[in-house]
Amino acid sequence: MHITRYTDYSLRVLMYLAVKGEALSTIKEIADSYQISKNHLMKIVQQLNSKGYVIATRGKNGGLRLNGKPEDINIGVLVRDIEQDLTLVECFGEGNTCVITPACQLKTVFAEALECFLQKLDQYTLADLLPQHQQAKFVQLINLN
Amino acid sequence: MHITRYTDYSLRVLMYLAVKGEALSTIKEIADSYQISKNHLMKIVQQLNSKGYVIATRGKNGGLRLNGKPEDINIGVLVRDIEQDLTLVECFGEGNTCVITPACQLKTVFAEALECFLQKLDQYTLADLLPQHQQAKFVQLINLN
DNA sequence: TTAAAGATGCATGTAAAATACATCTTTAAA
DNA sequence: TTTAAAGATGTATTTTACATGCATCTTTAA
């Protein structure tokens, strides 16, 4: 069971921007800091922008900043929004071929469990991922590499 | 976010055997009923056998039966046991390269959410997946195909 | 002794995800 | 007004986990 890198990287970008505050950060800068693919990050940022999580400014001296305060960005909401495919088991999806589906509670049970998972994430915001007392360390880590 | 077919099929096999009761079922029979790969099922059954969920009898007139009562097979326990890789995000795993891990709460938060997911599954057993009143329907479905 | 069952190891196929590449658009500074 | 630095977008390629196939071995009851 995995979350895609796509969602993982989305969260990392938002954390980066949260620490940066009002200052703009470029995609290249973020990709370099995290040592991950700039190309992949572009797609991610594009989506974060279109969904309103970040504000992207094009052109020279452009860059990214967080849209809103870290305390207002909920992790559960974000994951529901970004993680592309939450079809936990085959019978969740469109192309389900499982013959017993009409007589089986698997779907119900897993749907409940997924909801529990997401509700736990609903209890946290971006601010919780970066406690105040660890922000200095965070800055160190992203500058060192 | 997905559970592997491996785990999905494991659950289906156990449900099949639960309905069959004391009678033995062969892998071929189960694969045919569900219209899934017999080869893949063999691997799955082998693991279910080695982990003690089923009892496999080799040789002529052999087959499979459930080891224990459906009420005693817990879904959460099973998923923890069978689902190969519960590293939800990169920082859960061995080869983690995320530079901010030491200053980041992501791991903690997702670990909590995963635990909620599994604890919800802990509330159900194999018997709950197949309510008594749907067993007749179940039998119909696996024989029709 | 033979046929029907599961066990095992290795090879291959497949689809989703990740990444790369190329080109376009926007914008501020020189 | 041109140029360079930024993001936007679409297509192609690579990678990887997962699923499946195939061949051979072992067990066991008829």
Give pLDDT, residue A4. 96
CB-based contact B118:B75 (threshold 8 Å):
no
Q: What is the pLDDT of residue B144?
A: 57
| CA A60 to C1' D3, whole Å | 11
pLDDT of A144 above 80? no
Give residue A20's pLDDT. 93
Report the C-alpha gap between B54 and B59 in whole angstroms: 16
Q: Which residue shows structure tokens 């089986």?
A: A104
pLDDT at B145 over 70: no
- From the CA of A30, how many Å to the nearest CA of chain B? 12
Of B83, B100, B129, the CB nearest to A141: B100
A141 in contact with B at a CB cutoff of 8 Å? Answer: yes
Percentage of chain A with pLDDT > 90? 94
Share above pLDDT 70 across residues of chain B, in percent, rounded to a whole number:
99
pLDDT of residue B95: 86
> What 3 state SS string does chain A have?
CCCCHHHHHHHHHHHHHHHHCCCCECHHHHHHHHCCCHHHHHHHHHHHHHCCCEEEECCCCCEEEECCCHHHCEHHHHHHHHCCCCCCCHHHCCCCCCCCHHHCCHHHHHHHHHHHHHHHHCCCEHHHHCCHHHHHHHHHHHHHC
Torsion angle, CA of B86/B18/B63/B61, rounded to 10 degrees?
180
| pLDDT in the model for residue A143 | 81
Q: How confident is the model at residue B28 (pLDDT cuts 50, 70, 90)?
A: very high
Q: What is the pLDDT of residue A94?
A: 85
* pLDDT value at residue B83: 95
* Torsion angle of C-alpha atoms B128, B130, B132, B135, degrees rounded to 10: 180
**B137 vs A: CB within 8 A:** yes
pLDDT confidence bin for A109, thresholds 50/70/90: very high
- Where are the domains positioned within chain A? 5-86+125-141
Element (H, E) at B51: none
**Nearest CB neighbour to B137, from listed A8, A102, A138:** A102
Question: What is the reported pLDDT for A9?
Answer: 97
Which range, of A59-63, A71-75, B106-110, B141-145, averages the lowest pLDDT? B141-145
Q: Encode burial over A103-135: b for 16+ CB neighbours within 10 A, e otherwise.
A: bbbbbebbbbbbebbbebbbebbbbbbbeeebe
Residue B94 has a pLDDT of 85
Is domain A5-86+125-141 classified as CATH 1.10.10.10? yes
Tokens of A84: 């592309």
Chain A touched by B143 (CB under 8 Å): no
A145, pLDDT greater than 90 = no
Task: Show which residues sit with Cβ under 7 A of nucleic chain D.
Answer: A 2, 25-28, 39, 42-43, 45-46, 49-50, 56-64; B 4-6, 8, 36-40, 42-43, 57-62, 84-85
Nearest residue, CA→C1' of D19: B40
- Are the beta carbons of A105 and B2 separated by less than 8 Å? no
What integer best gives the mean pLDDT of chain A? 95
Q: How far is B61 from chain A (nearest CA, A)?
A: 26
